């Protein structure tokens, strides 16, 4: 019985990691799918979300359950920043080579990383778990913290909501059309520019939200931006760059490989996920669920 | 460029001028000059891919790291002489880039960049975790200087300290590598790389095996990066997993672009500019990354051709103006 609960604990741990990563990577993947821009700054938006959430909790302090308000405010702040970045900077790079797009988003990584250091210092910051979700429940002999359960549900909810928006709403139809043929969509009279801005804002919102939601579990430290972005890259590469469900399953696979990889090869679990990424790129560059690029 | 300017052996001229640093400058100037020389070689090796072949590698630091670790391990753990460790580092890096490159050149554009990034992170994970060989997160401190006793018997160099001597050695290695790269770029092989950059479809239509040429360029670039890494490990008195972490790849890319990827000497200018700028900036503020990011933004929006590209464009503009005035 012990074995079962142990495996189950590992599985749950992996699944929590997975849903976190899905929250982060879904935005990255959407932006790549539609705008063909690989956004290195996505990790920085995530980091800013975490710092902003901490800041908001400090300000709101005495209010009960201020965490939820803070998380929302942080996500909205990051979304606003994302909108500005798209309008003022990224917009001018669409016609240019990938190299310049990559470097533009990398310039933001450098700038935002140092800005966060200047504003919040290099000390590790942390946010306490919201009282509502303090504690845990027992499942198959394994204790699952309520907050982790919330993250899992949140990840699944975002996946379903994103899928519904993409497939059922008119905005979603436009997004899918823009991913397939941007010029044709523009020629048909759609405002592709506004669509791109909207996409980028939504993606930044998700990054900021996941950054805010991670604060009760992990400390906020400088360097979390460059660390998370490669993890998000792995996830989107496994699932397929630009594929929404691919990102979901990519996250699930990543979480389990990491979680069980630690058991098999303790010191090489890092190695195993990068190796997985490389193998996928070699065998199926467009990922398990993606489509080859034209 | 005029015919005369073309006949000047620029590599030799730069080498001779740079040789004066230990005499004219302070100890610290020599330190900076060593750093510039090594960075220049690293940036130049990346430009073999970026500028010459048109391949955007986001994992070039992997081969720099392999070179640094191979040289560091051979010299420290096995007490091998530099004359063996350096070629071994270059070979090791070239071998690594042959294996990785074999897979990378099968992919195009963004996928190529992603796979190079993945491979470099694999190398990083190995360096970071393989405690027995690489020292893991502790790294490999105290890599010894090579034995440079022989230099004392050369007139003029007799009274140099070990840092000066190492600078001279670095300069020689870097300049020989640069000369070799210049030959490569100017050769029919190099011309074909440029053709591939401009139009891979057409190149393959006239019967060129594009992948093989790209792989050859990848291996050459990796080998030279390995040499730069080996030198840097000794210069920095140690090899650490940080060298191989992915933001370093972005750093050398910025160096290359800042100088200008369209010109042979561009990366050298970029390396010198960034090293000196870093030096100046860090004495005022700890936020070097911020400054670097801002420079990068300005670069991307105002002169994407880099410093050398901007200068050449400026000179051409002035010339046109003058000609216009003469004709009028």
Secondary structure of residue B260 in the 3-state scheme: coil
pLDDT category at B5 given cuts 50, 70, 90 is: low
Predicted TM-score (pTM) of this structure: 0.86
CB-based contacts of A67: which residues, under 8 Å, 6+ apart? A53, A57, A127, A130, A216
User: Which among A92, A107, A268 has the least Cβ separation from residue B293?
Assistant: A107
On chain B, the residues whose CB falls within 8 A of the CB of A285 are 107, 111, 115
CA B216-B220-B224 angle, 5° bins: 170
Neighbouring C-alpha atoms within 13 Å toward the C-beta of A101: 20
DSSP code per residue over B95-127: HHHHHHHHHHTTS-HHHHHHHHHHHHHHHHHHH
Q: What is the CATH number of the domain that holds A159?
A: 1.10.3470
pLDDT tens by residue, chain A, 294 residues: 467 777 788 888 888 888 889 989 988 988 888 888 888 999 999 999 999 998 888 888 766 678 888 889 999 999 999 999 998 888 888 878 788 888 899 999 999 998 998 888 888 888 877 777 777 787 777 778 888 888 888 888 888 888 888 888 888 888 888 877 777 887 887 777 888 898 899 999 999 999 998 888 888 888 888 889 988 888 888 888 778 888 888 899 888 888 887 777 776 777 788 888 888 888 888 878 877 664
Quick check: B81 and B257 in contact, CB under 8 A? no
Contact criterion met (CB < 8 Å) for B293 and A111: yes
For chain B, give the percent of residues with pLDDT over 90: 26
Q: Is residue A262 part of a domain?
A: yes
Of the candidates A93, A111, A278, which has its C-beta nearest B290's C-beta? A111
B136/A203: higher pLDDT = A203
Angle CA A62–A65–A69, to nearest 5: 95
Question: Out of B118, B250, B287, whose CB is closest to A106?
Answer: B250
pLDDT in tens, B175-186: 899 989 988 998
Q: Structure tokens of B10? A: 């620029």
Q: Which residue of A has its CA nearest to B101?
A: A282
Among A45-49, A130-134, B65-69, B210-214, the least confident range: A130-134
Q: What pLDDT is stored for residue A1 in this prediction?
A: 45
Is A110 within 8 Å of chain B by CB? yes
Q: Which residues of B touch A226 (CB under 8 A)?
A: 245-247
Flag if A268 and B110 touch (Cβ within 8 Å).
Answer: no
DSSP A289: T
Q: What is the spatial distance between Cα A99 and Cα B13, in angstroms, rounded to a whole number?
A: 33
Distance CA B227, CA B91 (A): 9
Q: CB of B315 within 8 Å of any CB in chain A?
A: no
Q: How many domains does chain A have?
A: 1
pLDDT at B254 over 70: yes
Distances (CA, A) of B19 to B10, B38, B125, B156, B172: 14, 14, 38, 11, 9
Range of the domain at A213: 18-283
CB contact under 8 A, B296 and A107: yes
Q: Rounded to whole angstroms, what are the CA distances from B293 to A185, A221, B32?
A: 34, 20, 22
Q: What is the pLDDT of residue B328?
A: 61
ipTM above 0.85 for this complex: no
Closest Cβ opposite residue B122 in set A100, A241, A271? A271
Q: B118 contacts in A (CB within 8 Å)?
A: 234, 237, 274, 277-278, 281
Q: Does A113 touch chain B (CB under 8 A)?
A: yes
A1 within domain boundaries: no
pLDDT for the residue numbered B135: 73
* pLDDT tens sequence across B20-60: 777 777 778 888 889 999 999 999 999 999 888 888 888 89
């Amino acid at each position: 019985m012990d074995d079962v609960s142990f495996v189950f604990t590992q599985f749950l741990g992996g699944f929590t990691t997975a849903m976190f990563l899905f929250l982060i990577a879904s935005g990255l993947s959407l932006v790549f799918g539609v705008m063909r821009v690989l956004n290195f700054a996505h990790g920085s938006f995530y980091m800013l979300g975490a710092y902003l959430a901490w800041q908001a909790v400090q300000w709101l302090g005495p209010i009960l359950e201020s965490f939820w308000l803070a998380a929302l405010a942080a996500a909205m702040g990051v979304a606003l920043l994302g909108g500005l970045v798209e309008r003022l900077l990224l917009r001018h790079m669409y016609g240019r080579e990938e190299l310049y797009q990559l470097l533009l988003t990398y310039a933001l990584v450098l700038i935002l990383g140092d800005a966060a250091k200047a504003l919040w210092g290099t000390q590790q910051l942390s946010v306490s778990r919201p009282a509502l979700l303090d504690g845990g429940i027992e499942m198959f002999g394994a204790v699952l913290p309520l907050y982790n359960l919330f993250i899992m549900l949140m990840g699944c909810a975002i996946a379903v909501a994103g899928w519904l928006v993409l497939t059922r709403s008119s905005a979603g139809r436009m997004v899918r059309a823009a991913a397939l043929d941007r010029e044709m969509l523009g020629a048909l009279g759609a405002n592709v520019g506004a669509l791109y801005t909207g996409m980028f804002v939504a993606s930044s919102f998700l990054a900021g939200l996941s950054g805010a939601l991670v604060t009760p579990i992990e400390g906020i430290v400088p360097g979390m931006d460059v660390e998370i972005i490669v993890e998000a890259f792995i996830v989107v590469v496994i699932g397929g760059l630009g594929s929404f469900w691919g990102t979901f399953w990519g996250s699930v696979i990543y979480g389990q490989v990491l979680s069980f990889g630690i058991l098999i090869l303790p010191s090489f679990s890092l190695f195993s996920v990068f190796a997985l990424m490389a193998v996928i790129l070699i065998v199926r560059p467009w990922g398990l669920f993606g489509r080859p690029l034209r | 460029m005029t015919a005369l300017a073309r006949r000047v052996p620029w590599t030799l001229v730069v080498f001779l001028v740079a040789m004066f640093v230990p005499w004219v400058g302070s100890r610290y100037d020599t330190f900076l000059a060593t750093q510039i020389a090594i960075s220049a070689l690293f940036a130049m090796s990346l430009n073999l891919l970026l500028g010459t072949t048109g391949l955007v590698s986001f994992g070039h630091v992997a081969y720099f790291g392999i070179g640094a670790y191979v040289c560091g391990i051979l010299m420290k753990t096995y007490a091998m002489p530099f004359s063996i460790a350096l070629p071994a580092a270059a070979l090791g890096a070239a071998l690594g880039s042959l294996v990785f490159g074999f897979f990378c050149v099968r992919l195009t554009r963004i996928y190529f960049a992603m796979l190079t990034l993945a491979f470099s992170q694999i190398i990083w994970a190995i360096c970071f975790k393989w405690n027995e060989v690489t020292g893991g997160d502790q790294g490999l401190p105290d890599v010894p200087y090579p034995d440079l006793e022989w230099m004392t018997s050369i007139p003029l160099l007799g009274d140099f300290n070990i840092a000066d001597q190492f600078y001279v050695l670095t300069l020689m290695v870097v300049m020989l590598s640069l000369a070799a790269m210049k030959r490569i770029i100017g050769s029919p092989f190099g011309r074909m790389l440029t053709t591939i950059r401009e139009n891979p479809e057409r190149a393959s239509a006239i019967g060129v095996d594009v992948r093989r040429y790209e792989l050859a360029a990848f291996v050459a670039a990796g080998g030279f990066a390995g040499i730069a890494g080996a030198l840097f490990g000794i210069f920095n008195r140690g090899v650490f997993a940080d060298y191989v972490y992915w933001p370093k790849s972005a750093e050398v890319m910025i160096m290359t672009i800042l100088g200008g990827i369209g010109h042979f000497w561009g990366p050298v200018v970029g390396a010198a500019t960034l090293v000196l700028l870093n030096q100046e900036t860090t004495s005022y503020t700890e936020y070097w990354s911020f400054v670097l990011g801002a420079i990068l933004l300005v670069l991307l929006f105002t002169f994407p051709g880099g410093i050398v590209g901007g200068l050449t464009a400026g000179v051409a503009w002035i010339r046109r103006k003058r000609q216009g005035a003469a004709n009028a």
